[in-house]
A and B are shown apart, each in its own frame.
Chain A
Amino acid sequence: MTSIKKAIFLFAVLFIVTGLVYPMTVTLVSGLLFPDQAHGSLIVDNDNRIIGSTLIGQNFTAPQYFQSRPSASGYDATASGGSNLGPTNAVLLESIANRKIELQKVGVTGSIPSDLVTASGSGLDPHISLESALIQVPVVAKARNLPEEKLKSLVLAESVDSPFTGAYVNVLSLNRALNEMNQSSK
């Protein structure tokens, strides 16, 4: 048997094992063990409609919601990616300055945490840093006519920490908790 024939046969065997059996088995087993995660950690509302995914960020812009980070893809979850703008690029600095002005317009004051005015790598970052959430508290409190203290404790309750990062918050979860709090306080 020539090497070419050997190569074709061995490739065929390994192709079936690694390209079909392996991914199909992982799909099957993970679908049984972790059905929710395997299908995208989707969130369904009371009417059984899909709201989105806990892992995929959404573009909140209305003042009664906490805002997500800027996104190079406008939170299009079929077009992930970052801006790829370099650190000295005037376009980057200009858009950061503009985003800052937009935030100040709605009433955010003080030094602004970097993550709130820079685009993420995925364009789908579901999180903001705790500081970025806290700095938005007065704006959201005003729009919802809620006491700032109450909002602040909600943000702190929603924030998570890891030894690798500072504390951060899932924006979609925070905004859902916010609506729930609003409803229960009515």
Chain B
Amino acid sequence: MVTEDLTVKGLMLILFLVVVTGVALPLSSFFVRVFSGELSRGIPGRIEKTIYRFIETNSDTENSWKGYARDMLIFNGIGFVILFALLLLQGFLPFNPEKFGSFDLFTAINTATSFVTNTNWQVYSGETTASYLTQMAGFTVQNFLSSATGICIAIAVMRGITRHSTDKIGNFWVDMTRCTLYILLPIAFIFALILTSQGVIQNLDPYVQANGYGSTGQQTIAMGPVASQEAIKELGTNGGGFFNANSAHPYENPTPLTNLIEIFLILIIPAAMPLVFGKMTGKIRQGWMIYSVMLLLFLLGFCTLYAAELAGNPLLKELNVSGISMEGKEVRFGLLGSSLFATSTTATSCGAVNTMHDSLTPLGGLVTMFMILLGEVAFGGVGSGFYTMIGFIVLSVFIAGLMIGRTPEYLGKKIEILEMRAAVITVLVPGILVLLFSGIALVLPNVTELMKNPGPHGLSELIYAFASMANNNGSAFAGFDASKPFYTLTGSLAMLIGRFVPAVAMLAMAGSLAQKKKVPPSSGTLPTDSVTFSIWTILVILIIGALTFFPLFAMGPIAEHLSMVGGI
């Protein structure tokens, strides 16, 4: 802890990323086979057919984008109603050994919205509020279904780009069934068992009364079916912790190895998505181009965060305390394990934490906030990261086209007004929500009383809250008290709009692109799989993010950093 051997850590990081890439590659082939229906033969095929007969659909009927979006919204609506009901009725339902009462109305609205939108923002504390039934049949279900929803939308967008002269982009029920049964469920099951073998708990026991050792006194230890939720929580980039401390809790994340496994699970599907795209379009290079853009943004974030934490807190050094600041960090993860988790969870829409982001150094905290505010595209949320990235790419193609006088087209499809509208909505809506709601909150009386920390850091807490909700991340500068009705309700609104408006916009883009004819590449075509275009896309992403939020960063984390190093 006193000295970090940077060579070893660097090698570990490279090795880790090689493993992620190495697994993402075959996983992407698996995705293609699942969604093309190639896997739906034999016994799984028969199970699938039974389900389809039950809901009167079949895998050959496909929908227009409007039908797809409608089914997606209705399905998520049902999910909301069921979860909402479970939360309000919790006190009367079984699997509740600690006899927790029901959620109150506002908390229930916020929590149900949060889990349906893949945000998993938590205004409740798991071990003192949620019964085992709520955790399993409420949260775990939505962990599966909200992440499957994201993947389905991404796949539909890919189809829209790949197909031509058709208005069909897929059958939502079929995609949903295949995604859940073939991809999420088996991977989650295997990793739940692996996590248990390393010490993550999985039981329905009442809380354990321990006597303590020596003079430490009695200790009540919270229990529960943690591993089954932990696996899908990371795999689906959901992030809602079983316990209040989330993945910092030793029962959710007991060792350096489980920590690594959990980071791997967070990244693996988002990392596979651009490669799926490459395979579906038959333009492998295009997939790798998107992958490299994501990877570079990720590394940029990681290196800054790691360096900021490594430099540490000079105020602690003045107190003759050695090493990096360990406030909010766990010893067993080390700086690398903490930084990698913090970057991964915010660069995707996961939002699980193994380190309290509120206690990171100002620049370290800035990185987590910035990764969220960029729209979570550095691998991104499962599905949502990919389609947001497509929004950015369309924007990049258009701006580049204007600047150098090329016809804006992407993979043989003309970018026209509808595509641009969808891209701009996808890219800007979350940011607008953050600015709007933070702005309103700041002029309300007594807002500083909700902040745990004074000065610029308090502002960072507030911005982070809305950034996290509008971008469906779910992590927090958790000192901020967001339990007041104003925050639970505006937060729910931010989560809903931030999730479904971009989703529907991108489906509309998919529908429009699917109908177009393919234009053969000409001398006027801007190549979108070149290094130049990759760099250009990164710049567009960074510039949009920086322009939108720089004033807030300056008044929050940057001001705090300057006061910390300058001792103001």
Contact = CB atoms under 8 A, between A and B. Distances in A.
Interface of A: 1, 3-11, 13-15, 17-20, 22-23, 25-27, 29-31, 33-34, 37-43, 45, 49-53, 55-62, 65, 69, 75-90, 92-93, 96-97, 100, 111-115, 117-129, 131, 162-166, 168, 172, 175-176, 179
B305 interface: no
B361 interface: yes
Contacts of A37: 196-201
B250 A55 contact: yes
Given A25-B189, A33-B193, A77 B320 contact: no
A52 B74 contact: no
Given A27-B228, A131-B1, A18 B180 contact: yes
Which 9 pairs from chain A and chain B are nearest by CB?
A: A165-B334, A84-B479, A121-B248, A80-B245, A82-B356, A19-B137, A86-B457, A86-B453, A30-B196
B330 A58 contact: no
Given A52-B216, A77-B219, A122-B249, 14 more contacts: A10-B173, A11-B75, A13-B54, A17-B185, A31-B202, A82-B327, A84-B452, A85-B358, A87-B564, A114-B321, A115-B326, A120-B326, A162-B334, A165-B256
Interface string B124-149: 01011000000011101100110000
B100 to A, nearest CB: 11
Nearest to A168: B331
Given A112-B321, A120-B328, A11 B78 contact: yes
B166 interface: no
11 contacts: A5-B55, A23-B140, A37-B199, A40-B223, A52-B211, A56-B251, A59-B216, A77-B220, A113-B323, A122-B330, A131-B322
A113 B137 CA distance: 44
Contacts of A121: 245, 248, 328-330, 353-356, 359
B74 A7 contact: yes
B222 interface: yes
B171 to A, nearest CB: 10
Given A30-B202, A87-B325, A40 B56 contact: no
A156 B520 CA distance: 68
A111 B321 contact: yes
A141 B225 CA distance: 42
A52 B221 contact: yes
B319 A93 contact: yes
Given A10-B177, A112-B322, A127-B331, A26 B141 contact: no
B256 A162 contact: yes
A96 B320 CA distance: 10
A123 B177 CA distance: 40
A87 B313 contact: yes
Given A1-B55, A6-B56, A129-B1, A20 B136 contact: yes
Nearest to B205: A39
Nearest to A70: B327
Contacts of B75: 7, 10-11
A29 B188 CA distance: 14
B305 to A, nearest CB: 14
B321 A100 contact: yes
B71 interface: yes
Nearest to A179: B214
